[in-house]
């Protein structure tokens, strides 16, 4: 009887192990030899971290978006970013240096400089999965974040579950912060002049 129980337990354990996704399949580095697949505007949907002390910095932003675009230098990508902090918006631009499958970026915000090393992983269509390591001035790592951006801001439940599994494979904490959808406007877009607004008001409606 004991032997039969042991065999049944072993079979059950094997079945559970077989049903668990393989981290090698879940976490595949995304090569950056062609950057076009990461270009464009991305809204942050969900994120996590590997050190408890990092959470307070992340949750200070109600929402975030980034836009990645090509530069004249093939090894550089221009990143424009915008974070909503309560009723205020903080935004700016920086250049990311691409080396193999790793990106390097330096941010200077209100006189404070921070250094970041990024990695990208394969993820769902219209998604961008980025691991960000924040570096101290001496080059040592302060901690890591894992960000999942989407083109539309929407995410299917199955895609969220895959993100959580990927985070576990990469040794992140099982704690998540979901970004809001009230995104900052783009300060680079010129505001309409009063004259243009008057012209639009006085214009005849277009026939349908």
Asked if the structure places residue 131 within a domain, the reply is yes
pLDDT tens per residue, range 13-27 = 333 333 456 999 999
Asked if the structure places residue 98 within a domain, the reply is yes
Asked if the structure places residue 112 within a domain, the reply is yes
Asked if the structure places residue 7 within a domain, the reply is no
Asked if the structure places residue 205 within a domain, the reply is no
Asked if the structure places residue 159 within a domain, the reply is yes
Could you list the residue range(s) of the whole structural domain that residue 156 is in?
31-178
Quote the pTM value.
0.76
Asked if the structure places residue 204 within a domain, the reply is no
Asked if 48 contacts 55 with a C-beta cutoff of 8 angstroms, the reply is: no
CATH number for position 97 = 2.40.128.20
pLDDT tens per residue, range 148-161 = 999 988 899 999 99
pLDDT tens per residue, range 55-69 = 998 899 999 999 998
State the Cα–Cα distance between residues 184 and 62, nearest whole angstrom. Answer: 10
State the Cα–Cα distance between residues 135 and 107, nearest whole angstrom. Answer: 11
Q: In total, how many domains does the chain have?
A: 1
The pLDDT score that the predictor gives to residue 190 is 66
The pLDDT score that the predictor gives to residue 173 is 94
């Amino acid at each position: 009887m004991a032997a039969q129980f042991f065999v049944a337990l072993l079979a059950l354990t094997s079945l559970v192990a077989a049903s668990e996704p393989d981290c090698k399949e879940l976490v595949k580095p995304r090569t950056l030899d062609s950057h076009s697949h990461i270009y464009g505007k991305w809204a942050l949907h969900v994120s996590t971290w590997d050190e408890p002390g990092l959470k307070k910095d992340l949750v200070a932003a109600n929402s975030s978006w980034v836009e990645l675009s090509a530069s004249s230098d093939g090894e550089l990508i221009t990143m424009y970013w915008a974070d909503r902090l309560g009723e205020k918006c903080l935004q700016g631009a920086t250049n990311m240096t691409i080396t193999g499958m790793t990106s390097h970026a330096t941010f200077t915000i209100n006189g404070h400089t921070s250094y970041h090393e990024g990695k990208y992983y394969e993820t769902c269509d219209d998604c961008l999965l980025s691991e960000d390591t924040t570096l101290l001035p001496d080059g040592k790592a302060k901690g890591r974040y894992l960000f999942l951006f989407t083109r539309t801001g929407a995410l299917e439940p199955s895609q969220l579950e895959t993100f959580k599994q990927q985070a576990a494979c990469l040794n992140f904490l099982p704690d998540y912060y979901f970004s809001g959808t009230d995104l900052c406007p783009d300060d680079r877009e010129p505001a309409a002049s009063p004259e243009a607004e008057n012209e639009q008001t006085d214009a005849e409606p277009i026939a349908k």
